[in-house]
Structure formats: C-alpha cells, structure tokens
Amino acid sequence: MTMATSRRSHRSAALLALGAAALVLASCGGSRDGDERSGAAARAGDPDALAERAAGPNRAARSGRIDGRIDIDLQGVAAFAEPFSVDVRGPFRHRRGASLPDYELEMGVGDNGIGLTALRGRSWVGLGSTGYPLPAPIRRRLVRSSARGENGLTRTLEQFGIAPSRWETDRRIAGTTRLDGVEVAHITTSFNAGRLVRDANTLLGLLSALGITRATGLPDRISRRARHAVVRSVTLKRGASWIGVRDKVLRRARFTMKFAVARADRAVLSGISGGTIAGELNVTGIGTPQRVRAPARTGPFANFRVAVDALADQRAARGR
C-alpha cells in the first residue's frame, strides 16, 4: 500500500470524491452487446418497481464481481491540476444467514490502496499480501451497515454507505438492450445529492476507525455545513442504470455530476471552484460461484495501525 501526502485541499476534494464514489458503486453491470430498443420498453414495466425489486430480496444477486471506477477533474486547486481516479474491484458472494457477505476487494484512491476481505465470519484489512484481522468493534460496524441491504450485492455495498434506492430520483425507462446476453431495462435517473453525500459518512466512519483518514488527510466525517455547500454547488445530476428485465438485478451504472462553487462557499471547500466527476460500475459473473481467499499472510492489527500511523506522521511532517 502507498498513501500519498494530502494537503488541506485534498480533504475537500476527497469529500466530493466520496460522495461521487457512492453513486458509481450504487449499481452494477456488464458489457453491451446489442442495440437499445425503445419499442420494447413496455416489457420492462415501472422503473420505480424495478429499482425496488433490485434493492430487495433477490437470490440472483447473491454473487458477482464488482469493477468500478470514477474520474475526478477539479478546478481551482493547484494540487489537483491533473485528474485522478477512485476504483474498487473484486468478487463477492453471500451465504444465507451470514452476518457479512464473503468478498475480496481492492480499494484505491489515486496511488493509495488497501484490501478488505471477509470470509466465513472473519474480516481483514490488507496491506500488500498481509491481512490484519479487524477488531470486533470495526467488524460490528460493517455488520450493522451491511444489515440494511437485502441481497448479496446490496449487503456488500451498504457497508460503505452505498444505496441507490435512497438516492435515485426521476427514474424513466429509456428502452431495453442486452448486456452479457441478458435483456435489461435502461433507466435514466437523477439523484438526491444531499442524501448521497450524507451516506458517504458511513465510509468515512470505517476509514476513521482504521486510522486511514488521518494518514490520507480525509475528514472523519462530512459536516452539515460542507454537505450543504456541496449540494448548493451541483449544476448537473445525470445518471443511468441497467436492470435485468427477468431477474431484476442491477447490472450497470453510469453517472455524471458537475458543480460550480459560489465564491462564498469556496472557503468551506478549500478553494475548489468547480469540476466534473464521472464514473461507471460493472459487475460480471452475476449469480455464479466466486472464489474468495483469505490473506496469504496475517499479522496483528496493531502492526497495521503502526504502519498507518507512520504514514500519517510522515504526511504531517511534510505538511509543515
């Protein structure tokens, strides 16, 4: 794992990125292999009902592989003259009655990354090939968040505060197409930026418990004042999702969010004047067996905290 140093502007940039990351992780998908047919939209049914079914109990969504990425382009901050990316990828599977799905995920922001693994009642955070067992309070945090989901996919995403059913608005069926050989409804959406950014605090709470917010310069939480500044700045909220017509599984999400920050709000967001955040998430292997492996090596969680605290101290020293 590497963690680049972050200045005060990184904190607010990451704030916006986390909210955006939540949206891009909100749905899942595959590769397109057919032309969209608006004449078949009637078979798709009501878009709100489809979204509710996708978020509810759904055996077909018990497993898959997430591969998501967002690209962030900010204006007004010299430290981010070049765009940067946020990504998450890896397999997940849900066993009936399990407190957490099994998964083996890699999470990254720019050059920074950690692993997060859960397998048969145990959880680890990873640096390189070494996994560190999560203390019981941190695992319980994940279990509480995951319990808000109702199928394997949503239970995996809820750990990070990701829940499209709470955010999407103005859903409309644009037509149908085929993804990975499956007929899907293409649904265009807007979203509630306030709810989305508020739910980003679930992810920040986890990162704070791991000590990663201090090492990267991220805030431990997004304040109400900062959330309001973000919401006031949004000028475009455009999204889309693709849901299986028969199996009601979310299969793809794309979004674009543009924002222009008023001068009065720029101090709250460390000088950011505007930008564009866009992303896409795909999930392949929906409903098929997924291999999840425990870390190759393990060490005490205290060693993980020592490593993270050392990075935080290095960052603080360079920021003086």
* pTM of the full structure: 0.83
Give the pLDDT confidence score for residue 110 in this predicted structure.
Answer: 61
Distance (Å, whole) CA 303 – CA 283: 33
pLDDT for 253 = 84
| The pair of three-digit structure tokens given for residue 167, joined into one six-digit string | 């955010």
Dist. CA 66–CA 281, nearest whole Å: 7
pLDDT at 275 (0 to 100):
87
Longest dimension (CA), the chain: 62
**Cα(185)–Cα(169) distance, rounded to whole angstroms?**
16
State the Cα–Cα distance between residues 210 and 207, nearest whole angstrom. Answer: 5
Tokens 């989901």 locate to 149
d(CA 174, CA 40) in angstroms, rounded, equals 10
pLDDT of residue 36: 58
Please say whether the beta carbons of 247 and 259 come within 8 A.
no
The list of the chain residues with pLDDT below 70 reads 1-44, 79-80, 109-112, 217, 315, 318-320
- Read off the pLDDT of residues 95-117 as tens digits, 9 standing for 90 and up: 999 999 999 999 876 666 889 99
Q: Would you state the pLDDT for residue 138?
A: 96
For position 308, what pLDDT does the model report? 86
Residue 143 is predicted with a pLDDT of 97
